[in-house]
C-alpha cells in the first residue's frame, strides 16, 4: 500500500540544511498497522508527511496504492491525497463548526447529495461512538471525544491509509487505550492501512504489527513487534524498550550494592528473557524441579504479544546444577544472562 524508496528530506540548503529524513526505504502492506517510533527530532513527522507529500521529499520516490505520488502533477496529486487521511495530537477541529459539520467537511464537492452526506456523517459518528454529539461544538467535548470526531472526519473520504501523528499523546492512558482500540476496530472492519507515529513503546506494543525505529532521520531498525521487543539490535531501540520494562533496573541495584542482590557462595543473579515465540511452557518450575534449583524472583516483566509470552524476569538462582539449568533454558529459546555470581 505504501512504498518509500530512498526518501530523503532536507530543509534549507544541502550544505547547511537540516537532514530531517535520510535515505529511508520501506514498504507497508495493505491492512497493516505500522508503528514509527523515535525520540523527538528523529524525523518521524517529516517522514510521515512525505507519505502524503505534505512535505515533498528532496530525493526518492513515494508510491501509495500502486501510484507514484512523487511524479504526479499537482491536480492529480490533490485527487490522490483523498486516499490518505491524517489525525494529529491536537485534533485540529474547526472550533466554530459543529461536530457534524466538522465530519462533513471532507465531503464538500463530493458527488453525494445533501441527504447522502448527512447519512454518511451519522454512520461515521456511530462508528466512533458519538451518535449523540452531532450538534455539539468541539469546545464542549473531552480530548478523547475530540479525537473520535477527528477520526470520523478522517474517514469521511473513504481513505485507504490513515496516518496518525502522536494521535494519543495528549490523552490520558485510559483514553489512549480506547482510541487505540477504536483505530484497531476500524482497521479490522475496513482493512484500512494505518501508520502510527508515537514515542510511547506501549502504544506500539498495544496495536502495531510491525515497527520502524527512527534515529537521526534514518530508520535504524525495523521488524515485527515481537522480534523488535525480544531481540532489539540498536541501542536506541533498547532504550525505548527499557521504558516499558523493569528488567534493566537490577543493574542499578547491583551497582548500588543493594542488600536485595547480595549473594551467598553458589548463588547467581540471572536475567531470563524470551527471545522467540515459545508456547507457554512452565519453564520456571520446570528447572526448579528438574535440576533442584531455588529461584528467588527480584523483578518480573511478562506480557503476551501475538499470543506468545514476551519479557522475562530477574532472579537469584541457587543449587548445584545451575549451569545445567541455564543450558536447558537456552535449548528452550530462553536467553539467560548471568549478571552476578556469589
Ligand atoms: N519545516 C521545517 N523547517 C526546518 N526544519 C524542520 C521543519 N520540519 C522539521 N524540521 C526539522 O527536522 C527534524 C525532524 O523533525 P520532525 O518533526 O520530523 O521530528 P519528530 O521525530 O516528528 O519529532 P517529535 O517527536 O518532536 O514530533 C528536526 O530537527 C526539525 O527541527
Ligand atoms: Mg513529530
Cα 5 to ligand 1 centroid, rounded to whole Å: 20
Q: Are residues 139 and 281 in the same domain?
A: no
Count how many Cα atoms sit within 13 Å of the Cα of residue 208 in the half-sphere of its side chain: 28
For 212-263, what is each residue's pLDDT tens digit? 999 999 999 999 999 998 889 999 998 888 878 888 888 888 999 999 889 9
Question: Residue 301: which H helix or E strand, with range?
Answer: strand 294-305
Instruction: Please report the DSSP string for 13-58 in residue order.
Output: -TTTSEEEEEEEEEEE-TT-EEEEEE-TTSSHHHHHHHHTTSS--S
Is the same domain home to 211 and 305? no
Closest approach atom of ligand 1 to CA 42: 21
Please tell me the distance from the alpha carbon of residue 69 to that of residue 127, in angstroms, as a whole number. Answer: 30
Mutate to test the pocket of ligand 1, among 40, 43, 214 (most ligand atoms within 8 A of CB): 43
Q: Are residues 63 and 212 in the same domain?
A: yes
User: Do residues 260 and 233 share a domain?
Assistant: no
Out of 242, 265, 287, a domain closes at 242
CA distances from 337 to 59, 103, 244, 288 (A): 44, 53, 19, 17
The pLDDT of residue 279 is 61
The domain of 310 spans 249-341
Residue 306 pLDDT exceeds 80 = no
Residue 229 shares a structural domain with residue 286? no
pTM higher than the cut 0.75: yes
Same domain, 96 and 124: yes
What is the whole-number distance in angstroms between the Cα of residue 165 and the centre of ligand 2? 7
CATH of the domain at 326: 3.30.70.260
Instruction: Among 210, 242, 274, give the residue marking a domain's end.
Output: 242
Count of structural domains within the chain:
2
Rounded Cα–Cα distance for residues 67 and 323 (Å) = 57
- From 242, 269, 299, give the residue that closes a domain: 242
Residues 91 and 200 in one domain: yes
**Ligand 1 within 6 A of CB of 219:** no
Nearest ligand to residue 10 Cα:
1
CATH number at residue 7: 3.40.50.300
Same domain flag for 177 and 317? no
| The pLDDT of residue 295 is above 90 | yes
d(CA 48, CA 211): 13
Do residue 190 and residue 320 come from a single domain?
Answer: no
Q: Helical H runs in 167-279? A: 173-190, 201-207, 225-230, 235-242, 249-256
- The confidence score (pLDDT) of residue 13 equals 78
Kindly state if the Cβ of 43 falls inside 6 Å of ligand 1: yes
Mean pLDDT, the chain, whole residue set: 93
Amino acid at each position: 500500500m505504501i512504498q518509500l524508496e530512498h526518501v530523503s528530506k532536507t530543509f534549507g540548503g544541502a550544505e547547511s540544511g537540516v537532514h530531517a529524513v535520510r535515505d529511508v526505504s520501506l514498504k507497508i502492506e495493505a491492512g497493516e498497522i505500522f508503528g514509527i517510533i523515535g525520540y523527538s527530532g528523529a524525523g518521524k513527522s517529516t517522514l510521515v508527511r512525505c507519505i502524503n507529500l505534505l512535505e515533498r521529499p528532496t530525493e526518492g520516490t513515494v508510491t501509495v496504492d500502486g501510484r507514484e505520488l512523487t511524479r504526479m502533477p499537482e491536480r492529480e496529486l490533490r485527487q490522490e491525497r483523498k486516499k490518505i487521511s491524517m489525525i494529529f495530537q491536537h485534533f485540529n477541529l474547526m472550533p466554530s463548526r459543529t461536530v457534524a459539520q466538522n465530519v462533513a467537511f471532507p465531503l464538500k464537492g463530493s458527488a453525494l447529495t445533501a441527504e447522502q452526506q448527512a447519512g454518511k456523517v451519522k454512520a461515521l459518528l456511530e462508528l466512533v461512538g458519538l451518535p449523540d454529539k452531532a450538534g455539539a461544538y468541539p469546545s464542549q467535548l473531552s480530548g478523547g471525544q475530540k479525537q473520535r470526531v477527528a477520526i470520523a472526519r478522517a474517514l469521511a473520504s473513504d481513505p485507504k491509509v490513515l496516518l496518525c501523528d502522536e494521535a494519543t499523546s495528549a490523552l490520558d492512558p485510559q483514553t489512549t487505550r480506547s482510541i487505540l482500540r477504536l483505530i484497531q476496530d476500524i482497521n479490522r472492519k475496513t482493512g484500512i492501512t494505518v501508520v502510527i507515529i508515537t514515542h510511547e513503546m506501549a502504544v506500539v506494543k498495544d496495536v502495531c504489527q510491525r515497527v520502524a525505529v527512527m534515529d537521526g532521520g534514518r530508520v535504524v531498525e525495523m521488524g515485527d513487534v515481537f522480534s523488535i521487543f525480544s531481540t532489539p539490535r540498536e541501542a536506541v531501540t533498547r532504550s525505548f524498550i527499557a521504558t516499558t520494562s523493569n528488567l534493566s533496573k537490577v543493574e542499578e541495584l547491583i551497582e548500588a550494592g543493594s542488600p536485595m542482590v547480595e549473594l551467598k557462595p553458589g548463588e547467581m543473579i540471572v536475567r531470563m528473557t524470551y527471545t522467540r515465540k515459545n508456547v507457554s511452557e512452565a519453564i520456571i518450575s520446570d528447572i526448579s524441579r528438574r535440576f533442584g534449583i531455588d529461584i528467588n524472583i527480584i523483578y518480573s516483566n511478562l506480557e503476551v504479544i501475538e499470543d506468545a509470552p514476551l519479557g522475562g524476569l530477574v532472579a537469584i538462582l541457587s543449587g548445584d546444577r545451575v549451569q545445567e539449568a541455564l543450558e536447558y533454558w537456552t535449548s528452550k529459546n530462553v536467553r539467560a544472562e548471568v549478571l552476578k555470581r556469589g
